[in-house]
Amino acid sequence: MKAITVNVSEPLYVEFQDYARRHDRTTAELIREAMEAYRQRWAERRGSLRDLVPLDLGEVKQPLERDDDLLEEMLG
């Protein structure tokens, strides 16, 4: 396991310590679990823009012209 240094606010660290004590766990164990939960929720999200569902944001204010930036790339 790799040891790292993380700077957190004193009140947040005290909350982690209190929670760890109440649940008979170590503060480091809780922080590792929090990091893993973050990784699973956010860092593993690897999708394609093609997977996104488009949103309807209302009427077109100004239509794109053929020579507008990125239009060919988006349509290609």
What string of H, E and C letters represents the secondary structure of the chain? CCCCCCCCCHHHHHHHHHHHHHCCCCHHHHHHHHHHHHHHHHHCCCCCHHHCCCCCCCCCCCCCCCCCCCHHHHHC
Instruction: Please give the residue range of the domain that contains residue 11.
Output: 7-44
17: in domain: yes
pLDDT in tens, 28-43: 999 999 999 988 888 7
Whether 56 is in a domain gets the answer no
Element holding 17 (H helix, E strand)? helix 10-22
Q: Tell me, yes or no, whether 73 lies in a domain.
A: no
More confident residue, 3 or 48: 3
**Is 48 within 8 Å of 38 (Cβ atoms)?**
no
Q: Answer for the pair 56, 71: CB distance below 8 angstroms, yes or no.
A: no
Residue 51 lies in a domain: no
Predicted pLDDT at 71: 59
pLDDT above 90 for 20: yes
72 falls within a domain: no
